[in-house]
Amino acid sequence: MDKIDFVELATFCTNRYKEAHTGTGEKYEGTLYVAILEGNKILCSTTTHILRNAEQCILIHQKSQVAISNWYSWYCVEYINAEGCVCGSELDKEFKLKIESWGSFSNQVMSLSYGNDNLNLYWCKAPFDKGIEKAWKLYSKLKEIKTLSEIKLVADLFMKDEKILELEKEVEDITFANQLLKRERDQYKELLDEIKEMVEK
């Protein structure tokens, strides 16, 4: 079987999306190209070169659309599988990856959902280049699982692990900021001591 030219396919899909969304009240903003490489490694770029060695890919098209008097961003996800089929937001028969508004035009959320009931297993806000890697990592785990209860359990644990990692990073950032402040305080103290010493002389 010939190697799929994901660059050509992605370019075609992007041009088709761009042409369909350049009318009054909407404008094409760009596409994020997500290359899925061997071993489920993910690379993201705003140019198609990233897809040269891809085994599958995801395109996240962005457009701006006016609602009342404000412009809002809207997104369309297209998954291109290993056979070169463009599947829209469907990763397979059971899983979907989509971006839609939750509650308001400005609250756009990427979600990985399961089944006809669209059970949300993972969700994140922009920037989507950070969230897509986590969504794909979870999907890669879940597609091997057969029962709904196991899928829910694994997704729940995944989300909790992500929250723990987030909190750990926040603690690291706070600790680092505190260390910088302490160092700055010590430097000022040394400077004041030097000035005091000079004045006393």
- pLDDT tens digits, one per residue of 66-123: 877 788 889 999 999 999 999 989 999 899 999 988 877 778 899 999 988 788 899 9
Rounded distance, CA 61 to CA 98, Å?
11
- Report the percentage of the chain scoring pLDDT > 90: 44
Other Cβ atoms closer than 10 A to 152 = 15
Reference 62, options 112, 119, 128, 1; nearest CA is: 128
| Widest distance between CA atoms in the chain | 87
User: For position 106, what pLDDT does the model report?
Assistant: 74
pLDDT tens digits, 134-150? 999 999 999 888 888 88
Listed by start position, the domains of the chain span 6-144
Single-letter amino acid, residue 151: I
User: For position 102, what pLDDT does the model report?
Assistant: 80
Q: Answer yes or no: pTM beyond 0.85.
A: no
- 3-state SS, residue 39: helix
Reference 16, options 71, 59, 72; nearest CA is: 59
